[in-house]
Amino acid sequence: MAKQLFSVDEARQRARNRLPRMMFDFIDGASGDESLCRLNSSVIDQIRLMPRVLIDVSERDLSSSILDQKTGLPFGIAPMGMCALAWPGADQFLAREAA
């Protein structure tokens, strides 16, 4: 399914169309007054990628440090309670992918 989605907004719209409203609101929402959600979005919007062409990328390193532990990739999967209510087996799928 991920190969059929071209943006986060498209994935969000598909989820809105497929899930019961209560489940979509739970997953899509943020805790409290949702101010951190707006802050996170504004910070991400400020990131600009620098295209670099004709450089050697044969020995690139995507590792990063998360909580003082080196990881192979610069991202992780955040825990989400009740994710199996949105899709059967989602919790097990996320655990396998995180491993």
Q: Domain ranges for the chain, please list them.
A: 1-31+86-99
pLDDT tier for residue 83 given thresholds of 50, 70 and 90? confident
Place of tokens 């409290």: 32
Per DSSP, helices labelled H in the chain are 8-18, 21-28, 35-45, 83-86, 90-98
pLDDT digits (tens, 9 = 90+) for 32-82: 788 888 888 898 889 888 888 888 888 888 888 888 988 887 777 877 777
- The pLDDT value recorded for residue 16 is 93
pLDDT tier for residue 1 given thresholds of 50, 70 and 90? low
Threshold 0.75, pTM exceeds: no
User: Rounded to whole angstroms, how far apart are CA atoms 18 and 12?
Assistant: 10
What is the DSSP code (8-state) at residue 3?
Answer: G
C-alpha distance across the termini of the chain, in Å = 21
